[in-house]
Chain A
Amino acid sequence: MFKYAVKRLAVGVLVVICASVLLFSIMQLMPGDPIRMIADPRLPPYRLEELRRAWGLDKPAYLQYLYWMKNLLQGNMGTSITTGQPVRQLIATRLPYTLLLAGTALIVRYVTAVPLGLMAAVGAGTQVDRILVITTTFLMLVPGYWLGILLVMVFGVKLRLLPISGFQGPASLVLPLITVVLPGLGGTLRVTRSEVLETVREPYVLTAYAKGLSERAVQVKHVLRNAIIPVTVSFFLDLPWLISGSVIIENVFAWPGMGRLVWGAIQRQDVPVVQGVFVIITVLTVVSNVIGDIVAGLLDPRIRMEIEEAGE
Chain B
Amino acid sequence: MNPKTLVQSAARNKMLVVGTLLFLTVIGAAIFADNIAPHKYDEMNIQKALMPPSRDYPFGTDQFGRCLFSRIVYGSRIAIKIGLMVVAIQISLGVVIGLLAGYFGGKIDVVLSFLTDLTWALPPIVLSLAVVTVLGPSLEKVVISTAAVSWPGCARMVRSKTQSIKNMPYVEAARAIGESDLSIIFRYIMPNTLGIVIVLATLQLPGAILSTTGLSFLGLGSQPPAPDWGLILSEGMNYVSLAPWISIFPGLALIYTAIGFTLMGEGLRDILDPRM
Q: Which residues of A contact B (CB under 8 A)?
A: 11-12, 14-15, 18-19, 22-23, 26-27, 29-31, 137-138, 141-147, 149-150, 152-153, 156-157, 240-241, 243-245, 247-248, 251-252, 262-263, 265-267, 269, 271, 274, 278, 281-282, 284-286, 289
Q: For A26, list chain B residues within 8 Å (CB).
A: 127, 130-131, 134
B214 within 8 A of A: yes
A302 to chain B minimum Cβ distance, whole angstroms, is 18
A141 touches B258 (CB 8 A): yes
B77 to chain A minimum Cβ distance, whole angstroms, is 19
B214 touches A244 (CB 8 A): no
Closest A residue to B206 by CB, please name it: A141
CA distance A146 to B213 in the complex (A): 11
B233 to chain A minimum Cβ distance, whole angstroms, is 6
B129 touches A274 (CB 8 A): yes
A19 touches B262 (CB 8 A): no
A10 to chain B minimum Cβ distance, whole angstroms, is 12
B230 to chain A minimum Cβ distance, whole angstroms, is 8
Query: Across the A-B interface, how many residue pairs have beta carbons closer than 8 Å?
Result: 116
Interface CB pairs A-B, < 8 A, 18: A11-B117, A12-B121, A15-B118, A18-B118, A26-B130, A29-B134, A30-B134, A141-B258, A142-B255, A147-B251, A240-B123, A244-B124, A252-B237, A263-B218, A266-B132, A266-B220, A267-B219, A281-B123
A146 touches B233 (CB 8 A): yes
B259 touches A278 (CB 8 A): no
Pick from B44-52, B92-100, B176-184, B239-247 the stretch touching chain A: B239-247
A77 to chain B minimum Cβ distance, whole angstroms, is 15
Closest A residue to B213 by CB, please name it: A143
B125 touches A245 (CB 8 A): yes
List residues 205-259 of chain B with CB under 8 A from any CB of chain A: 206, 210, 213-214, 217-220, 230, 233, 236-237, 240-241, 244, 247-248, 250-251, 254-255, 258-259
Q: For B236, list chain A residues within 8 Å (CB).
A: 149
B121 touches A289 (CB 8 A): yes
B88 within 8 A of A: no
Question: Given B122, B206, B240, which contacts A285 in the complex, CB threshold below 8 Å?
Answer: B122
B133 within 8 A of A: yes
CA distance A252 to B230 in the complex (A): 13
Given the interface pairs A15-B118, A152-B240, A153-B240, the reply to whether A244 lies near B123 with Cβ below 8 Å is: yes
B126 within 8 A of A: yes
Mark contacts of B176-213 with chain A using CB atoms, 8 A cut-off: 1 yes-contact digit, 0 otherwise: 00000000000000000000000000000010001001
**Chain B facing A: main interface SS:** helix
B123 touches A145 (CB 8 A): no
Interface size on B, residues (CB 8 A): 40
B135 within 8 A of A: yes
Q: For A289, list chain B residues within 8 Å (CB).
A: 121
Q: Which 3 A-B pairs have the closest CB atoms?
A: A146-B251, A141-B258, A157-B241
Closest B residue to A267 by CB, please name it: B219
B168 to chain A minimum Cβ distance, whole angstroms, is 25
Q: For A285, list chain B residues within 8 Å (CB).
A: 121-123
A141 touches B259 (CB 8 A): yes
Q: For A241, list chain B residues within 8 Å (CB).
A: 124
CA distance A185 to B206 in the complex (A): 17
B275 to chain A minimum Cβ distance, whole angstroms, is 12
A149 touches B240 (CB 8 A): yes
Which residue among A11, A145, A263, A282 has the maximum number of chain B CB atoms within 10 Å of its CB? A145
- Other A-B contacts than A141-B206, A251-B218, A282-B122, 11 sampled, CB-CB below 8 A, are A19-B122, A138-B259, A141-B262, A146-B255, A149-B236, A152-B240, A244-B126, A252-B237, A265-B133, A267-B219, A282-B126
Question: Given B121, B123, B210, B248, which contacts A143 in the complex, CB threshold below 8 Å?
Answer: B210
Closest A residue to B130 by CB, please name it: A26
CA distance A123 to B230 in the complex (A): 38
A159 to chain B minimum Cβ distance, whole angstroms, is 12
CA distance A18 to B121 in the complex (A): 11
Q: For B124, list chain A residues within 8 Å (CB).
A: 241, 244-245
Q: For B259, list chain A residues within 8 Å (CB).
A: 138, 141
CA distance A242 to B229 in the complex (A): 23
Q: For B258, list chain A residues within 8 Å (CB).
A: 141
Q: For A269, list chain B residues within 8 Å (CB).
A: 133
B247 touches A149 (CB 8 A): yes
B251 touches A262 (CB 8 A): no
B39 to chain A minimum Cβ distance, whole angstroms, is 24
CA distance A245 to B258 in the complex (A): 18
Closest A residue to B248 by CB, please name it: A150
A145 touches B214 (CB 8 A): yes
CA distance A289 to B22 in the complex (A): 38
CA distance A160 to B206 in the complex (A): 33
CA distance A248 to B126 in the complex (A): 11
A253 to chain B minimum Cβ distance, whole angstroms, is 11
Given the interface pairs A149-B237, A150-B251, the reply to whether A286 lies near B121 with Cβ below 8 Å is: yes
Question: Given B131, B218, B244, which contacts A248 in the complex, CB threshold below 8 Å?
Answer: B218
Which residue among A29, A263, A266 has the maximum number of chain B CB atoms within 10 Å of its CB? A266
B248 to chain A minimum Cβ distance, whole angstroms, is 7
B43 to chain A minimum Cβ distance, whole angstroms, is 25
Q: For A138, list chain B residues within 8 Å (CB).
A: 259
List residues 13-60 of chain B with CB under 8 A from any CB of chain A: none
